[in-house]
Amino acid sequence: MRVRIKHWYNAVLSTLLSMLGYGCSSSTNELVEMYGVPVMEYGTPYAEYKMMGQVTDEKGSPINNIKTSVKNVVVSSLGTVYGYGLDSTKTDVSGKYTISFKGFPSNPETKLIVEDIDGESNGGEFQSDTLDVDFEKAVKVKDGDENWNVGTYEVYQDIKMKKK
């Protein structure tokens, strides 16, 4: 009798554990669909970036109060596009902006997005624009700690906006 109960118990337990294991296994795409884009975790190489530049109109005049954002864009194998912001700021009176963020070294899908959020108040309405961040022009200003931090870089990118 005890052998039969143990056999039944082992069969039920094996079935439940196999179902649990199957339910926990999932492809990366499904995880992205369910939980969003992965973020840096402990043990992931990263760099510190300071992105700066000036936003001007087509004539070269600085534009105040333009929202500048840095975002990473990831496209899943299912074709879904995910964008997640790293940081954003507004330009000052001289059209200058500075954004600091940490990220994966030289992520080719990092975008700089500029948007006119106040309409006519800054000298006219300007078209939004999305630019690729050119990490080839990044200047290393500080070495990393020879562990996961690969250093600190400055990236300069000026932007000319067109009027609507």
If asked whether residues 155 and 79 sit together in one domain, one would say yes
Q: What is the pTM of this model?
A: 0.68
Would you give per-residue pLDDT tens digits along the chain (164 residues)? 666 777 777 777 777 666 665 555 444 555 555 555 555 556 678 889 999 999 999 999 999 999 999 988 877 777 777 777 888 999 999 999 999 988 776 566 888 999 998 877 877 789 999 898 888 888 999 998 877 888 899 999 999 999 88
Please state, in angstroms and rounded to a whole number, the distance separating the CA atoms of residues 78 and 20: 26
If asked whether residues 101 and 25 sit together in one domain, one would say no
Q: What pLDDT score was predicted for residue 26? A: 47
Please state, in angstroms and rounded to a whole number, the distance separating the CA atoms of residues 86 and 136: 19
Tokens of 160: 């000319």
Specify the amino acid at residue 143.
D
If asked whether residues 30 and 70 sit together in one domain, one would say no
Among 161, 49, 153, residue whose Cα is nearest residue 95: 161
For 133, residues 6+ apart whose C-beta sits below 8 A from its C-beta are: 51, 70, 110, 111, 112, 155, 157
* Counted domains in the chain: 2
If asked whether residues 21 and 84 sit together in one domain, one would say no
Residue 19 belongs to domain spanning = 2-35
If asked whether residues 140 and 84 sit together in one domain, one would say yes
Please state, in angstroms and rounded to a whole number, the distance separating the CA atoms of residues 33 and 7: 40
Q: What pLDDT score was predicted for residue 118? A: 83
If asked whether residues 143 and 118 sit together in one domain, one would say yes
